[in-house]
Structure 1
Amino acid sequence: MDARAYILHVKPWRDTSVLLEVFCRERGRLRVAARGVKGKRRSPIAGLLQAFIPLHLQLNASRDYLYLQDAEALAPGWPLSPDIALCALYCNELLLRLLPEQDSHPQLFDDYERSLQLLALSQGDDSVIANCLRQFEWALLSELGYGIALDCDEQGEPVRAGQCYRVDADIGIIGSAPVAGGFSGDDLLAFADHNWPANPTEAKRLLRLLLAAHLGSEPLHTRELWRARQVLKQLADEPAGA
Protein backbone atom coordinates (compact mmCIF):
# COMPACT_ATOMS: atom_id res chain seq x y z
CA MET A 1 0.00 0.00 0.00
CA ASP A 2 1.48 3.33 -1.09
CA ALA A 3 0.50 6.65 0.45
CA ARG A 4 1.45 10.30 0.11
CA ALA A 5 1.42 11.58 3.67
CA TYR A 6 2.49 13.88 6.48
CA ILE A 7 3.21 12.71 10.00
CA LEU A 8 0.97 14.38 12.56
CA HIS A 9 2.27 12.77 15.76
CA VAL A 10 4.88 10.27 16.93
CA LYS A 11 4.45 8.13 20.06
CA PRO A 12 7.04 5.71 21.54
CA TRP A 13 6.03 2.05 21.21
CA ARG A 14 7.98 -0.90 22.52
CA ASP A 15 11.76 -0.79 22.76
CA THR A 16 12.77 0.13 19.22
CA SER A 17 9.51 1.22 17.60
CA VAL A 18 7.08 4.12 17.42
CA LEU A 19 3.41 4.58 16.55
CA LEU A 20 2.78 7.21 13.91
CA GLU A 21 -0.39 9.18 13.31
CA VAL A 22 -0.22 10.04 9.62
CA PHE A 23 -2.46 12.07 7.33
CA CYS A 24 -2.59 10.49 3.86
CA ARG A 25 -4.02 12.24 0.84
CA GLU A 26 -6.04 9.29 -0.44
CA ARG A 27 -6.54 7.28 2.77
CA GLY A 28 -7.11 9.92 5.46
CA ARG A 29 -5.76 9.61 8.98
CA LEU A 30 -4.02 6.31 9.73
CA ARG A 31 -2.20 4.83 12.71
CA VAL A 32 1.01 3.16 11.56
CA ALA A 33 3.60 1.16 13.49
CA ALA A 34 7.23 1.86 12.57
CA ARG A 35 9.57 -0.87 13.80
CA GLY A 36 13.29 -0.60 14.38
CA VAL A 37 13.51 3.20 14.25
CA LYS A 38 14.93 3.70 17.77
CA GLY A 39 18.18 2.56 19.34
CA LYS A 40 21.73 2.08 18.07
CA ARG A 41 20.74 -0.02 15.05
CA ARG A 42 17.83 2.10 14.00
CA SER A 43 16.55 2.14 10.42
CA PRO A 44 17.96 4.80 8.05
CA ILE A 45 14.44 6.17 7.55
CA ALA A 46 14.19 7.16 11.23
CA GLY A 47 15.24 10.75 10.49
CA LEU A 48 12.29 11.22 8.15
CA LEU A 49 9.67 10.35 10.76
CA GLN A 50 8.84 13.86 11.88
CA ALA A 51 6.24 16.50 11.17
CA PHE A 52 6.10 18.81 8.15
CA ILE A 53 8.03 16.61 5.70
CA PRO A 54 6.04 15.47 2.62
CA LEU A 55 6.51 11.71 2.45
CA HIS A 56 5.83 8.74 0.24
CA LEU A 57 5.07 5.79 2.53
CA GLN A 58 4.97 2.09 1.77
CA LEU A 59 2.70 0.30 4.23
CA ASN A 60 1.93 -3.33 4.98
CA ALA A 61 -1.31 -4.39 6.61
CA SER A 62 -1.53 -7.05 9.32
CA ARG A 63 -4.40 -8.19 11.48
CA ASP A 64 -3.66 -5.63 14.20
CA TYR A 65 -1.68 -2.80 12.61
CA LEU A 66 -0.51 -1.07 9.51
CA TYR A 67 3.29 -1.35 9.46
CA LEU A 68 5.72 1.04 7.82
CA GLN A 69 7.85 -0.77 5.26
CA ASP A 70 9.66 2.22 3.76
CA ALA A 71 9.54 6.02 3.63
CA GLU A 72 10.89 8.53 1.14
CA ALA A 73 10.92 12.32 1.40
CA LEU A 74 9.19 13.90 -1.60
CA ALA A 75 10.76 17.29 -0.80
CA PRO A 76 12.66 18.91 2.08
CA GLY A 77 10.61 19.64 5.18
CA TRP A 78 8.93 23.03 5.35
CA PRO A 79 11.26 25.53 7.09
CA LEU A 80 9.34 26.75 10.14
CA SER A 81 10.62 28.88 13.00
CA PRO A 82 9.69 27.71 16.54
CA ASP A 83 6.67 30.04 16.80
CA ILE A 84 5.39 29.18 13.33
CA ALA A 85 6.02 25.47 13.90
CA LEU A 86 3.73 25.72 16.94
CA CYS A 87 1.02 27.16 14.69
CA ALA A 88 1.51 24.24 12.30
CA LEU A 89 1.33 21.81 15.23
CA TYR A 90 -1.99 23.44 16.11
CA CYS A 91 -3.25 22.38 12.66
CA ASN A 92 -1.94 18.88 13.37
CA GLU A 93 -3.76 18.75 16.68
CA LEU A 94 -7.03 19.81 15.08
CA LEU A 95 -6.68 16.99 12.55
CA LEU A 96 -5.91 14.48 15.30
CA ARG A 97 -8.90 15.57 17.35
CA LEU A 98 -11.50 15.95 14.62
CA LEU A 99 -10.57 13.79 11.62
CA PRO A 100 -11.95 10.22 11.82
CA GLU A 101 -9.53 7.40 11.04
CA GLN A 102 -9.49 6.00 7.49
CA ASP A 103 -11.76 8.76 6.21
CA SER A 104 -10.37 10.09 2.91
CA HIS A 105 -10.25 13.87 2.45
CA PRO A 106 -7.90 14.70 -0.45
CA GLN A 107 -9.06 18.33 -0.64
CA LEU A 108 -8.37 18.80 3.06
CA PHE A 109 -4.92 17.27 2.58
CA ASP A 110 -4.24 19.85 -0.13
CA ASP A 111 -5.52 22.62 2.17
CA TYR A 112 -3.21 21.40 4.93
CA GLU A 113 -0.20 21.32 2.62
CA ARG A 114 -1.05 24.80 1.35
CA SER A 115 -1.26 26.01 4.96
CA LEU A 116 2.24 24.69 5.67
CA GLN A 117 3.52 26.50 2.60
CA LEU A 118 1.87 29.79 3.61
CA LEU A 119 3.20 29.50 7.15
CA ALA A 120 6.69 28.82 5.84
CA LEU A 121 6.47 31.92 3.61
CA SER A 122 4.87 34.17 6.25
CA GLN A 123 8.19 35.52 7.57
CA GLY A 124 6.58 35.82 10.97
CA ASP A 125 3.92 38.28 9.79
CA ASP A 126 1.13 37.93 12.37
CA SER A 127 -1.62 38.96 9.93
CA VAL A 128 -0.50 36.39 7.35
CA ILE A 129 -0.28 33.66 10.00
CA ALA A 130 -3.71 34.50 11.44
CA ASN A 131 -5.33 34.50 7.99
CA CYS A 132 -3.69 31.14 7.18
CA LEU A 133 -5.00 29.57 10.38
CA ARG A 134 -8.53 30.91 9.85
CA GLN A 135 -8.55 29.51 6.32
CA PHE A 136 -7.45 26.09 7.54
CA GLU A 137 -9.94 26.04 10.43
CA TRP A 138 -12.78 26.89 8.05
CA ALA A 139 -11.62 24.33 5.48
CA LEU A 140 -11.51 21.65 8.18
CA LEU A 141 -14.98 22.48 9.52
CA SER A 142 -16.46 22.62 6.03
CA GLU A 143 -14.84 19.38 4.86
CA LEU A 144 -16.14 17.49 7.90
CA GLY A 145 -19.66 18.88 7.48
CA TYR A 146 -19.43 21.22 10.47
CA GLY A 147 -19.47 24.49 8.54
CA ILE A 148 -22.45 26.82 8.66
CA ALA A 149 -23.89 29.34 6.20
CA LEU A 150 -22.64 32.81 7.12
CA ASP A 151 -24.67 34.84 4.64
CA CYS A 152 -28.16 33.76 5.73
CA ASP A 153 -29.90 32.98 9.02
CA GLU A 154 -31.63 29.81 10.15
CA GLN A 155 -34.84 30.98 8.46
CA GLY A 156 -33.09 31.46 5.13
CA GLU A 157 -33.21 35.24 5.39
CA PRO A 158 -30.10 37.04 4.13
CA VAL A 159 -27.71 38.42 6.72
CA ARG A 160 -27.77 42.21 6.57
CA ALA A 161 -24.99 44.69 7.19
CA GLY A 162 -25.64 46.87 10.20
CA GLN A 163 -27.51 44.12 12.07
CA CYS A 164 -26.29 41.95 14.95
CA TYR A 165 -26.60 38.16 15.03
CA ARG A 166 -26.05 35.26 17.37
CA VAL A 167 -24.12 32.23 16.10
CA ASP A 168 -24.90 28.67 17.13
CA ALA A 169 -22.54 25.93 15.92
CA ASP A 170 -25.44 23.50 15.39
CA ILE A 171 -28.16 25.84 14.13
CA GLY A 172 -26.23 28.57 12.34
CA ILE A 173 -26.98 32.30 12.31
CA ILE A 174 -29.80 33.29 14.63
CA GLY A 175 -31.74 36.54 15.02
CA SER A 176 -31.10 40.08 13.95
CA ALA A 177 -31.30 41.97 17.22
CA PRO A 178 -28.50 43.27 19.49
CA VAL A 179 -27.22 40.48 21.69
CA ALA A 180 -24.24 40.18 24.02
CA GLY A 181 -21.49 38.19 22.34
CA GLY A 182 -23.14 38.57 18.95
CA PHE A 183 -21.50 39.15 15.57
CA SER A 184 -22.12 42.03 13.21
CA GLY A 185 -23.72 41.34 9.88
CA ASP A 186 -20.87 43.21 8.21
CA ASP A 187 -18.30 40.79 9.64
CA LEU A 188 -20.38 37.70 8.84
CA LEU A 189 -20.78 38.77 5.21
CA ALA A 190 -17.04 39.40 4.95
CA PHE A 191 -16.31 35.98 6.46
CA ALA A 192 -18.80 34.36 4.08
CA ASP A 193 -16.49 35.60 1.30
CA HIS A 194 -13.48 34.15 3.19
CA ASN A 195 -12.28 37.68 3.96
CA TRP A 196 -10.97 36.76 7.42
CA PRO A 197 -8.63 39.80 7.67
CA ALA A 198 -11.69 42.10 7.57
CA ASN A 199 -11.85 41.73 11.36
CA PRO A 200 -9.16 39.32 12.62
CA THR A 201 -10.31 39.39 16.26
CA GLU A 202 -13.90 38.52 15.39
CA ALA A 203 -12.78 35.93 12.83
CA LYS A 204 -10.76 34.16 15.53
CA ARG A 205 -13.69 34.34 17.97
CA LEU A 206 -16.11 32.91 15.40
CA LEU A 207 -13.88 29.99 14.43
CA ARG A 208 -13.15 29.17 18.09
CA LEU A 209 -16.87 29.10 18.81
CA LEU A 210 -17.51 26.72 15.92
CA LEU A 211 -14.56 24.47 16.75
CA ALA A 212 -15.40 24.31 20.46
CA ALA A 213 -18.70 22.58 19.69
CA HIS A 214 -16.80 19.61 18.24
CA LEU A 215 -13.55 19.51 20.21
CA GLY A 216 -15.10 18.63 23.55
CA SER A 217 -13.93 19.82 26.96
CA GLU A 218 -10.26 18.82 26.75
CA PRO A 219 -8.14 21.92 25.98
CA LEU A 220 -5.87 22.01 22.98
CA HIS A 221 -2.28 21.43 24.07
CA THR A 222 -0.87 23.71 21.38
CA ARG A 223 -2.96 26.64 22.65
CA GLU A 224 -1.63 26.09 26.17
CA LEU A 225 1.93 25.88 24.86
CA TRP A 226 1.44 29.09 22.88
CA ARG A 227 0.20 30.95 25.96
CA ALA A 228 3.11 29.64 28.03
CA ARG A 229 5.57 30.66 25.31
CA GLN A 230 4.16 34.20 25.20
CA VAL A 231 4.47 34.51 28.99
CA LEU A 232 8.09 33.40 28.85
CA LYS A 233 8.79 35.92 26.10
CA GLN A 234 7.29 38.73 28.15
CA LEU A 235 9.38 37.75 31.16
CA ALA A 236 12.51 37.61 29.01
CA ASP A 237 11.79 41.12 27.66
CA GLU A 238 11.37 42.68 31.10
CA PRO A 239 14.30 44.84 32.27
CA ALA A 240 16.50 43.28 34.92
CA GLY A 241 15.17 44.06 38.38
CA ALA A 242 11.74 45.06 37.08
Structure 2
Amino acid sequence: MRVSAYVIHTRPFQDGKILVDLLTLEQGLLRGVWRLPKKEARVIPGPFLCFEVECTGRGELKTIKSMESVQAGFYLEGMPLYAGLYIHEIVERLLPLNLPLPAIYELYQWLISSLHGGVSIAPILRRFEVGLFAELGVAINMASTSRGEALSGKQLYQFHQKFGLRPYYGEQPKQVPLLYVEGQVALDYNAGAWTNKQVLGLAKELHRSWLDGLLNGKPVSARRLLPKHVFQGERLNGVPIFRALP
Protein backbone atom coordinates (compact mmCIF):
# COMPACT_ATOMS: atom_id res chain seq x y z
CA MET A 1 0.00 0.00 0.00
CA ARG A 2 1.29 3.44 -0.96
CA VAL A 3 0.03 6.57 0.78
CA SER A 4 0.72 10.30 0.82
CA ALA A 5 1.59 11.23 4.39
CA TYR A 6 2.88 13.75 6.89
CA VAL A 7 4.81 12.71 9.98
CA ILE A 8 2.80 13.63 13.07
CA HIS A 9 4.84 11.95 15.81
CA THR A 10 7.85 9.65 16.21
CA ARG A 11 9.19 7.76 19.21
CA PRO A 12 11.74 5.00 19.85
CA PHE A 13 10.46 1.45 19.45
CA GLN A 14 13.24 -1.14 19.32
CA ASP A 15 16.91 -1.07 18.52
CA GLY A 16 17.23 0.66 15.16
CA LYS A 17 13.47 1.16 14.82
CA ILE A 18 10.98 3.92 15.57
CA LEU A 19 7.22 4.17 15.75
CA VAL A 20 5.85 6.71 13.29
CA ASP A 21 2.36 8.23 13.36
CA LEU A 22 1.39 9.46 9.90
CA LEU A 23 -1.51 11.60 8.74
CA THR A 24 -2.34 10.11 5.36
CA LEU A 25 -4.70 11.05 2.56
CA GLU A 26 -5.83 7.49 1.97
CA GLN A 27 -6.01 5.96 5.47
CA GLY A 28 -6.29 8.84 7.92
CA LEU A 29 -4.03 8.37 10.95
CA LEU A 30 -1.71 5.45 10.36
CA ARG A 31 0.84 4.00 12.79
CA GLY A 32 3.84 2.08 11.52
CA VAL A 33 7.29 0.74 12.42
CA TRP A 34 10.19 2.21 10.46
CA ARG A 35 13.67 0.68 10.51
CA LEU A 36 16.22 3.45 10.23
CA PRO A 37 18.91 2.78 7.61
CA LYS A 38 22.19 2.02 9.35
CA LYS A 39 24.12 4.68 7.50
CA GLU A 40 21.50 7.24 8.54
CA ALA A 41 20.70 5.77 11.94
CA ARG A 42 20.18 9.18 13.53
CA VAL A 43 18.13 10.72 10.74
CA ILE A 44 14.47 10.61 11.71
CA PRO A 45 11.75 11.64 9.21
CA GLY A 46 10.85 15.22 10.05
CA PRO A 47 7.51 17.02 10.39
CA PHE A 48 5.75 19.36 7.93
CA LEU A 49 7.14 17.43 4.96
CA CYS A 50 5.01 15.36 2.60
CA PHE A 51 6.21 11.78 2.03
CA GLU A 52 5.23 8.96 -0.27
CA VAL A 53 5.11 5.97 2.04
CA GLU A 54 4.98 2.27 1.22
CA CYS A 55 3.70 0.11 4.05
CA THR A 56 2.40 -3.41 4.64
CA GLY A 57 0.41 -5.23 7.30
CA ARG A 58 -3.22 -6.01 8.04
CA GLY A 59 -3.28 -5.01 11.70
CA GLU A 60 -3.34 -1.54 13.21
CA LEU A 61 0.46 -1.42 13.35
CA LYS A 62 1.96 -1.34 9.86
CA THR A 63 5.48 -2.03 8.66
CA ILE A 64 6.89 0.93 6.74
CA LYS A 65 8.97 -0.26 3.80
CA SER A 66 9.99 3.10 2.36
CA MET A 67 9.54 6.83 2.90
CA GLU A 68 10.41 9.29 0.16
CA SER A 69 9.87 13.05 0.40
CA VAL A 70 7.89 14.45 -2.51
CA GLN A 71 8.24 18.19 -1.87
CA ALA A 72 10.44 20.71 -0.14
CA GLY A 73 9.85 20.78 3.58
CA PHE A 74 8.27 23.63 5.52
CA TYR A 75 10.75 24.80 8.13
CA LEU A 76 8.80 26.46 10.89
CA GLU A 77 10.20 28.23 13.92
CA GLY A 78 8.91 30.27 16.83
CA MET A 79 5.14 30.55 17.23
CA PRO A 80 4.30 28.88 13.87
CA LEU A 81 6.35 25.85 14.99
CA TYR A 82 4.59 25.73 18.36
CA ALA A 83 1.21 25.98 16.64
CA GLY A 84 2.14 23.09 14.36
CA LEU A 85 3.20 20.96 17.31
CA TYR A 86 -0.10 21.76 19.04
CA ILE A 87 -2.04 20.59 15.99
CA HIS A 88 0.06 17.42 15.80
CA GLU A 89 -0.75 16.58 19.40
CA ILE A 90 -4.51 16.98 19.10
CA VAL A 91 -4.58 15.12 15.76
CA GLU A 92 -2.65 12.19 17.22
CA ARG A 93 -4.86 12.04 20.29
CA LEU A 94 -8.27 12.53 18.66
CA LEU A 95 -8.12 10.71 15.32
CA PRO A 96 -8.90 6.97 15.27
CA LEU A 97 -6.39 4.78 13.46
CA ASN A 98 -6.94 3.71 9.86
CA LEU A 99 -10.10 5.74 9.23
CA PRO A 100 -9.88 7.68 5.94
CA LEU A 101 -10.55 11.37 6.60
CA PRO A 102 -9.35 13.16 3.45
CA ALA A 103 -10.90 16.48 4.50
CA ILE A 104 -8.65 16.59 7.59
CA TYR A 105 -5.60 15.77 5.46
CA GLU A 106 -6.43 18.65 3.11
CA LEU A 107 -7.16 20.97 6.04
CA TYR A 108 -3.78 20.06 7.54
CA GLN A 109 -2.02 20.88 4.26
CA TRP A 110 -3.75 24.27 4.23
CA LEU A 111 -2.77 24.90 7.85
CA ILE A 112 0.92 24.10 7.33
CA SER A 113 1.05 26.21 4.17
CA SER A 114 -0.62 29.10 6.04
CA LEU A 115 1.80 28.85 8.97
CA HIS A 116 4.70 28.89 6.54
CA GLY A 117 3.19 31.90 4.79
CA GLY A 118 3.27 33.98 7.96
CA VAL A 119 -0.47 34.60 8.32
CA SER A 120 -2.07 35.33 11.69
CA ILE A 121 -1.95 32.16 13.77
CA ALA A 122 -5.08 32.32 15.96
CA PRO A 123 -7.67 32.38 13.11
CA ILE A 124 -6.17 29.40 11.28
CA LEU A 125 -5.90 27.34 14.48
CA ARG A 126 -9.57 28.01 15.26
CA ARG A 127 -10.54 27.20 11.66
CA PHE A 128 -8.62 23.91 11.84
CA GLU A 129 -10.24 22.97 15.14
CA VAL A 130 -13.72 23.61 13.71
CA GLY A 131 -12.96 21.37 10.73
CA LEU A 132 -11.50 18.68 12.98
CA PHE A 133 -14.56 18.66 15.25
CA ALA A 134 -16.88 18.48 12.24
CA GLU A 135 -15.06 15.58 10.59
CA LEU A 136 -15.02 13.63 13.86
CA GLY A 137 -18.77 14.12 14.30
CA VAL A 138 -18.43 16.30 17.41
CA ALA A 139 -19.12 19.73 15.88
CA ILE A 140 -20.14 22.61 18.15
CA ASN A 141 -23.64 23.85 17.32
CA MET A 142 -23.70 27.65 17.31
CA ALA A 143 -26.44 27.89 14.67
CA SER A 144 -29.47 27.13 16.84
CA THR A 145 -30.57 26.45 20.41
CA SER A 146 -30.53 23.02 22.01
CA ARG A 147 -34.20 22.75 20.94
CA GLY A 148 -33.42 23.60 17.33
CA GLU A 149 -34.77 27.14 17.52
CA ALA A 150 -33.26 29.92 15.40
CA LEU A 151 -31.07 32.42 17.22
CA SER A 152 -31.99 36.05 17.76
CA GLY A 153 -29.10 38.45 17.25
CA LYS A 154 -29.73 40.54 20.38
CA GLN A 155 -30.66 37.67 22.70
CA LEU A 156 -28.12 36.49 25.27
CA TYR A 157 -27.61 32.72 25.44
CA GLN A 158 -25.93 30.43 27.92
CA PHE A 159 -23.80 27.64 26.48
CA HIS A 160 -23.47 24.30 28.23
CA GLN A 161 -20.96 21.65 27.18
CA LYS A 162 -23.64 18.98 27.21
CA PHE A 163 -26.75 20.84 26.05
CA GLY A 164 -25.51 23.65 23.81
CA LEU A 165 -27.22 27.05 23.62
CA ARG A 166 -30.17 28.06 25.78
CA PRO A 167 -31.75 31.52 26.02
CA TYR A 168 -30.77 33.43 29.15
CA TYR A 169 -33.28 35.80 30.77
CA GLY A 170 -31.43 36.70 33.95
CA GLU A 171 -32.37 33.64 35.98
CA GLN A 172 -29.89 31.69 38.10
CA PRO A 173 -28.91 28.69 35.94
CA LYS A 174 -29.28 25.28 37.57
CA GLN A 175 -25.87 24.45 36.15
CA VAL A 176 -23.09 26.99 35.62
CA PRO A 177 -22.71 27.52 31.86
CA LEU A 178 -19.40 27.38 30.07
CA LEU A 179 -20.01 30.88 28.73
CA TYR A 180 -22.64 33.43 27.70
CA VAL A 181 -22.89 34.69 24.13
CA GLU A 182 -25.10 37.06 22.19
CA GLY A 183 -26.93 35.52 19.29
CA GLN A 184 -25.13 37.63 16.69
CA VAL A 185 -21.69 36.57 17.92
CA ALA A 186 -22.79 32.91 17.84
CA LEU A 187 -24.08 33.35 14.28
CA ASP A 188 -20.84 35.06 13.22
CA TYR A 189 -18.91 32.15 14.72
CA ASN A 190 -21.09 29.71 12.79
CA ALA A 191 -20.37 31.69 9.59
CA GLY A 192 -16.61 31.47 10.19
CA ALA A 193 -16.00 35.19 10.73
CA TRP A 194 -12.46 34.60 12.00
CA THR A 195 -11.40 38.24 11.54
CA ASN A 196 -14.00 39.26 14.15
CA LYS A 197 -12.29 39.86 17.50
CA GLN A 198 -15.27 38.64 19.54
CA VAL A 199 -15.63 35.51 17.42
CA LEU A 200 -11.95 34.67 17.94
CA GLY A 201 -12.26 35.23 21.68
CA LEU A 202 -15.36 33.05 21.81
CA ALA A 203 -13.70 30.32 19.74
CA LYS A 204 -10.59 30.25 21.91
CA GLU A 205 -12.59 29.90 25.14
CA LEU A 206 -15.05 27.46 23.60
CA HIS A 207 -12.57 25.20 21.81
CA ARG A 208 -10.29 24.90 24.81
CA SER A 209 -13.11 23.55 26.97
CA TRP A 210 -14.47 21.42 24.11
CA LEU A 211 -11.09 19.78 23.63
CA ASP A 212 -10.73 19.21 27.35
CA GLY A 213 -14.05 17.37 27.27
CA LEU A 214 -13.02 15.23 24.28
CA LEU A 215 -9.74 14.36 26.00
CA ASN A 216 -11.44 13.63 29.33
CA GLY A 217 -9.59 16.46 31.01
CA LYS A 218 -6.11 15.19 30.13
CA PRO A 219 -3.84 18.20 29.47
CA VAL A 220 -2.57 19.19 26.04
CA SER A 221 1.19 19.42 26.55
CA ALA A 222 1.82 21.70 23.57
CA ARG A 223 -0.37 24.42 25.08
CA ARG A 224 2.57 25.27 27.33
CA LEU A 225 4.41 26.51 24.24
CA LEU A 226 1.61 28.85 23.17
CA PRO A 227 0.69 32.17 24.85
CA LYS A 228 -1.08 31.62 28.16
CA HIS A 229 -4.84 31.92 27.86
CA VAL A 230 -6.41 34.27 30.39
CA PHE A 231 -9.84 35.70 29.57
CA GLN A 232 -9.81 39.46 30.19
CA GLY A 233 -13.34 40.42 29.07
CA GLU A 234 -16.74 40.84 30.68
CA ARG A 235 -18.00 38.19 33.08
CA LEU A 236 -21.32 37.31 34.71
CA ASN A 237 -20.94 35.52 38.03
CA GLY A 238 -17.42 34.66 36.95
CA VAL A 239 -18.50 33.24 33.55
CA PRO A 240 -17.18 34.90 30.33
CA ILE A 241 -19.67 36.87 28.21
CA PHE A 242 -19.23 37.52 24.48
CA ARG A 243 -21.28 40.39 23.08
CA ALA A 244 -21.26 41.93 19.61
CA LEU A 245 -19.00 45.00 19.45
CA PRO A 246 -20.78 48.34 18.94
TM-score (norm 1): 0.84
Separation in 2 of the partners of 1:154 and 1:63?
A: 40
The alpha-carbon deviation at position 18 of structure 1 amounts to 0.6
Separation in 2 of the partners of 1:80 and 1:165?
A: 40
Structure-1 residue corresponding to 2:242? none
Separation in 1 of the partners of 2:220 and 2:99?
A: 22
Q: 2:115 aligns with which of 113, 116, 119?
A: 119
Q: Structure 2 stretches of 5 or more lacking a match?
A: 229-246
Q: Is the 8 A contact 1:148 1:169 kept in 2?
A: no
* 1:176-229 CA distance string (max 9 Å, x none): 33577312212111001011221222221122222222022211010023358x
1:66 aligns with 2:47: no
Q: Is the 8 A contact 2:31 2:60 kept in 1?
A: no
The alpha-carbon deviation at position 88 of structure 1 amounts to 0.7
1:75 aligns with 2:71: yes
Alignment of 1:155-234 (within 5 A): 155-178=147-170, 181-198=179-196, 199=198, 200-226=200-226
Tell which deviates more after alignment, 192-201 or 128-137. 192-201
Separation in 1 of the partners of 2:223 and 2:78?
A: 14
Alignment of 1:2-81 (within 5 A): 2-37=2-37, 41-42=39-40, 47=43, 49-61=45-57, 65-81=61-77
Separation in 2 of the partners of 1:172 and 1:25?
A: 32
Identity %: 25
Tell which deviates more after alignment, 168-177 or 130-139. 168-177
Separation in 1 of the partners of 2:186 and 2:142?
A: 6
Structure-1 residue corresponding to 2:231? none
Separation in 2 of the partners of 1:63 and 1:172?
A: 38
The alpha-carbon deviation at position 130 of structure 1 amounts to 0.5
- Calculate the aligned-residue CA RMSD, in Å: 2.1
SS in 2 for 1:195: coil
Structure-2 residue corresponding to 1:132? 124
Structure-1 residue corresponding to 2:92? 96
Q: Is the 8 A contact 2:159 2:165 kept in 1?
A: yes
Amino acid at match of 1:53: L
Separation in 2 of the partners of 1:51 and 1:75?
A: 12
Q: Is the 8 A contact 1:33 1:67 kept in 2?
A: yes
SS in 2 for 1:30: strand
TM-score (norm 2): 0.82
In terms of fraction of residues, the more helix-rich structure is: 1
Amino acid at match of 2:40: R
